[in-house]
């Protein structure tokens, strides 16, 4: 479909916008609740409950990443962890009938103001250059340049991404560094731009902890608890990520182990900066328009 034929007033885009509006409000309310000695679980459950109160549903479990953690950290059902004088990244998603919005913010309680500011400045610079025809590699080069000007490194193996129907990560990929080959953005693309900055080397690797999962394939399983969990997953979450603590079956962790062993679900290990250094993050979801972009999560 030619750009001129893309109708940005269809129900699909209305639901993307509704998800973004809910998410912008929840992001600010949730960030205000992050203080020393407040529990991670309290903040995550507040955000997820508030999303539902406002008419949306969580697109994935609230990510609460601390210091060297970059993504995929969320509290367990009985988590008693509290915030300290740390760098905290909140990554939150909303969907309305499967149409998504995704946003993130750094709440810095560690005193590293410049590092917290770097991805926010990089995001603003990226948004300024979004228009039909821009190459994703050019966006990545701008993000890298801004973060470099702050004296830090982008996290090069994490990227922004497209948002599909019941799909959290689709094409195009939006790199956080310059790349020679990219994708050309078109009118109607719905994209999450997601700079990460670090005072380390700029790469993340998988840790051992997993609290977030998603459906890998349809399947059958004999164990009763695993079958109950699978029914909830397929009916409520579909292909979107979910938290262990969201499952209503008894012995949820054992049920998930069985489902994972049968390749029915896969886990998302917590991602950590290779050198154990701090990571900051800022993210907005945008719709590419004929003359630029519309930020749905502003």
Whether 21 is catalytic: no
Whether 3 is catalytic: no
Indicate the annotated binding residues for substrate: 72, 169
Q: Are 272 and 287 in contact (CB under 8 A)?
A: no
Alpha carbons 149 and 170: distance in angstroms, whole number: 30
Whether 165 is catalytic: no
Whether 169 is catalytic: yes
Alpha carbons 35 and 85: distance in angstroms, whole number: 9
Give the position of tokens 């990510």.
Answer: 63
Identified catalytic residue from 67, 95, 283, 284: 283
Whether 291 is catalytic: no
Identified catalytic residue from 161, 189, 199, 284: 161
Whether 206 is catalytic: no
Q: Is 11 exposed, middle or buried (0-12, 13-18, 19+ CB in 10 A)?
A: exposed
Give the position of tokens 């719905």.
Answer: 190
Indicate the annotated binding residues for a divalent metal cation: 91, 102, 161, 194, 283
Indicate the annotated binding residues: 72, 91, 102, 161, 169, 194, 283
Q: Are 24 and 92 in contact (CB under 8 A)?
A: no
Q: What tokens appear for 204 in the block?
A: 């993340």
Identified catalytic residue from 67, 68, 102, 144: 102
Identified catalytic residue from 108, 194, 210, 211: 194
Identified catalytic residue from 91, 108, 142, 273: 91
Q: What pairs with residue 71 in β-bridges? A: 271
Identified catalytic residue from 42, 131, 135, 169: 169
Alpha carbons 260 and 257: distance in angstroms, whole number: 5
CA triplet 75, 168, 252: central angle to 5 degrees? 40
The catalytic site residues sit at 91, 102, 161, 169, 194, 283
């Amino acid at each position: 479909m030619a750009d001129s034929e893309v109708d940005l007033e269809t129900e699909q885009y209305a639901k993307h916008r509704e998800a973004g509006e809910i998410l912008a409000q929840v992001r600010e309310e949730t960030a205000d609740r992050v203080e020393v000695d407040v529990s991670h679980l309290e903040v995550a459950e507040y955000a997820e409950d508030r999303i539902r109160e406002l008419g949306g549903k969580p697109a994935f479990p609230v990510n609460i990443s601390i210091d060297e953690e970059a993504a995929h950290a969320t509290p367990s059902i009985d988590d008693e962890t509290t915030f300290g004088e740390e760098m905290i990244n909140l990554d939150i998603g909303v969907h309305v009938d499967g149409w998504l919005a995704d946003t993130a913010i750094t709440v810095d309680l560690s005193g590293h103001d410049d590092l917290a500011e770097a991805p926010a400045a990089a995001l603003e610079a990226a948004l300024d250059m979004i228009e039909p025809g821009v190459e994703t590699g050019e966006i990545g080069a701008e993000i890298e340049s801004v973060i470099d000007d702050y004296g830090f490194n982008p996290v090069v193996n994490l990227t922004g991404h497209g948002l599909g129907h019941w799909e959290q990560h689709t094409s195009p990929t939006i790199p956080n560094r310059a790349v020679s080959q990219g994708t050309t953005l078109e009118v109607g693309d719905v994209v999450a731009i997601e700079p990460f900055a670090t005072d380390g080397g700029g790469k993340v690797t998988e840790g051992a902890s997993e609290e977030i999962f998603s459906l890998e394939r349809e399947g059958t399983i004999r164990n009763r608890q695993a079958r109950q969990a699978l029914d909830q997953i397929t009916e409520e979450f579909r292909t979107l990520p979910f938290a262990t603590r969201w499952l209503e079956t008894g012995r949820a962790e054992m049920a998930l182990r069985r489902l994972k062993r049968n390749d029915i679900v896969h886990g998302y290990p917590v991602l950590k900066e290779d050198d154990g250094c701090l990571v900051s993050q800022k993210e907005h979801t945008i719709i590419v328009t004929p003359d630029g972009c519309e930020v749905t999560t502003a």
